[in-house]
A = this chain, B = another copy of it.
Amino acid sequence: MKFKSSLNLSSNHLTLLKKPADMIVTCVYVHVKPDEVNSFIDATIANHLESVREHGNLRFDLIQQADDPCRFMIYEAYESGAAAANHKTTTHYLRWRDIVKDYMAEPRQGVKYNIIEPNDRTRW
């Protein structure tokens, strides 16, 4: 599902085909100890508020599983792998990582996805 910008020479006109950016999502699944749920939420809201201001960030949603308030997902979308990697060097990420370390009932899991839709940057 990767497309490259290219010239379509079969057309009567030279057409610059759309080039979906190398946008990616990481879904981060976090299982939190019951007594630490509120502390985890506070720390992650702080991380959210900084992360959405990063260059190249598309989304940084924090959601809580409806049938289990100890389970969360962070939906992290970036316009490139480089922008996603840069997130892990920021002060706010490093602070969050250290604060929430002891809140977790088990190690968090990240699952990487390529984006099919919305397929251009302007619709994010």
Contacts and interface: CB of A to CB of B under 8 A. Distances in A.
Interface residues of A, number: 31
A112 B73 CA distance: 11
Interface string A55-78: 000001111111101001101010
A66 B117 contact: no
A25 B111 contact: no
B1 A61 contact: no
| A interface secondary structure, majority | strand
A113 B25 contact: no
A12 to B, nearest CB: 26
Nearest to A65: B113
A45 interface: yes
